[in-house]
Structure 1
């Protein structure tokens, strides 16, 4: 691993559950410009084990005590979705920068409240849409912005597989659990339609927005058959680009994720892998100018670590934010709500008109 830089962001992680163990603790310890300063979790057994395993300087069982630590510069919110907004607001009010796991929130209204809190704080806030730090997607974005010209159409798909857990169990660290862990009042998986949209749909939507810009309206259809949830979504982008999104959960095949983009001066075709393989997307960029296809290798596929390093650069060096900001997070939630309302009604739904949650 590269040698740590002299100037580093001191990070406190809230939550010691699966996403923290699989992604954020390691990202803090491997990042060249950040350190894992503290871990906070109410489950004493879990927190103490994670502090020892990952070499955190401190452990806290009280969030306010961690936020009062003057040595902590920023907080990663790695809790259940229901806790994202209130935990972020408390961190901002304590003067900490925040990297919050996706989705940013559960309703349009709470995300708008968070947006006001971010503006009032003057702190850096970033949403954990880590796919923006996939070198393949970044290469596609550069081509789109600098060479493609007008985007005519975008198709993107995100299809979770019945075989994903045997695959991820083989590559993830053994996830440690605790009977003392804090859980939301309602089981997030009690409504699978809602859960799949929040867990997976937000990735698909953010990838589409990353490439083609703001979404203004959607028309969605939903099929629930044979234990498969399938959303087909026609998307209207502000740019006039035509879009089609396919979110299908529990496909009877390998993980299936990717995109096709057709533009004035070329096209892009991408295949994205299960994120826990830490493998850069295979993205083929065809340039009409030379009649050739180009592909970046992207040897560094640790998207979560790259995400944290980008977040730290913005804070430590004042570089422009590379990841998803508060407006991106709000737009993602608006799009998910609009898709849910359109699937229910069968009608076109404008994002500006939606309220409530998925």
Structure 2
């Protein structure tokens, strides 16, 4: 089993979740951190374990041949630039979502990765949550039959009580309600439904609460997907709600339905008026320390050992989700459906 040294780009909130998850793996250790704010090597090493060298010059960190993987935890608007540089330096990539704030920049990242031949893990880590793993198991066992409708919705008020609020509220920071956070719900919808998306229609609006006034973009959107085979999906992204975090899932198929942690299947021949229950840790928090990064990163490292692409959250799969996100945002902006 190979040992991987990992360099972190950006030492903010999400990095504090990436670092312990990487260090808890069987084969990787964070050995370098690049931050625009100077850090103390001894303090970083004492806090996170091992020996960590700090950098303020990204090119200097990427020039270190002993760093094998780079985890990009910088501001969203810098992800593309940092991913391209790291790929060109021959480093494998962990890219925090979103990959970039535009489809053109996503394609630039894809081109750089292809040219360098490096492997990529994109942080749609909710695919590795027990909630979505259990949901997929119900689907894969055929308990819902053939799905014809699905909705996955993201409700999470991201206000001034979050440290990233100031930059996330800017158009060149968060981008859109769907891109900054609702992307997890859209990605989950695509995971559950599968198949090709033919057309996207989206509408957006914004809360009148002064709490969310700093946002430079609409903070609520509703997106309808029409799949090539005629099925329909819906995704709401609401980051201006005043309520507890809620990751809503509803799936309807020819043999049954699923609602969050409940499902009903005609195949089980149970009481038609009762739900069966699933037991899992729900996606119920926007705190990055609650996200299943460790499971995702371990899968990535195991794939590297085997010379394979990342399962579930490889670059190609993540680009598919991003393409639909950008199509939805275009639809909301123009008021017209976007064909894919």
Matches within 5 A, 1:221-300: 221-227=203-209, 229-270=219-260, 283-291=261-269, 293-297=276-280
User: Would you say the 8 A contact 1:13–1:40 is kept in 2?
Assistant: yes
Per-residue CA distance 1:164-189 (angstroms, 9 max, x = gap) = 94xx7xxxxxx8x9xxxxxxxx9552
Partner of residue 200 from structure 1, selected from 161, 168, 181: 181
**Structure 1 residue 45: Cα displacement:** 3.2
Query: Which position in structure 2 is the counterpart of 1:111?
Result: 106
Distance in 1 between residues matched to 2:198 and 2:128, nearest whole Å: 25
Distance in 1 between residues matched to 2:317 and 2:157, nearest whole Å: 27
Partner of residue 124 from structure 2, selected from 122, 129, 132: 129
Distance in 1 between residues matched to 2:145 and 2:160, nearest whole Å: 37
Query: Which position in structure 1 is the counterpart of 2:69?
Result: 74
Match status 1:209 vs 2:203: no
Describe the SS at the equivalent of 1:156: strand
Partner of residue 18 from structure 2, selected from 24, 35, 39: 24
Distance in 2 between residues matched to 1:239 and 1:75, nearest whole Å: 39
Decide whether aligned partners of structure 1 residues 338 and 81 sit closer, same or farther in structure 2, where only a CA change above 3 A counts. same
Distance in 2 between residues matched to 1:120 and 1:160, nearest whole Å: 38
Describe the SS at the equivalent of 1:136: helix
User: Would you say the 8 A contact 2:39–2:54 is kept in 1?
Assistant: no
Distance in 1 between residues matched to 2:204 and 2:268, nearest whole Å: 41
Query: Which position in structure 2 is the counterpart of 1:42?
Result: 36
Matches within 5 A, 1:131-150: 131-147=126-142, 148-150=144-146
Per-residue CA distance 1:210-254 (angstroms, 9 max, x = gap) = 111243321112222423733222211234321111112222221
Query: Which position in structure 2 is the counterpart of 1:182?
Result: none
Per-residue CA distance 1:262-293 (angstroms, 9 max, x = gap) = 112332222xxxxxxxxxxxx33433221452
Decide whether aligned partners of structure 1 residues 135 and 119 sit closer, same or farther in structure 2, where only a CA change above 3 A counts. same
> Scaled by the length of structure 1, what TM-score is found?
0.79
> Scaled by the length of structure 2, what TM-score is found?
0.83
User: Would you say the 8 A contact 1:196–1:249 is kept in 2?
Assistant: yes
User: Would you say the 8 A contact 2:153–2:182 is kept in 1?
Assistant: no
**Structure 1 residue 294: Cα displacement:** 4.7
What's the C-alpha RMSD, in Å, of the aligned pairs?
Answer: 2.9
**Runs of 5+ unmatched residues, structure 1:** 1-5, 169-174, 178-185, 271-282, 353-358
User: Would you say the 8 A contact 1:16–1:46 is kept in 2?
Assistant: no
Moved over 4 A (4+): 298-302
**Structure 1 residue 75: Cα displacement:** 1.0
Decide whether aligned partners of structure 1 residues 316 and 193 sit closer, same or farther in structure 2, where only a CA change above 3 A counts. closer
User: Would you say the 8 A contact 2:7–2:32 is kept in 1?
Assistant: yes
Describe the SS at the equivalent of 1:190: coil
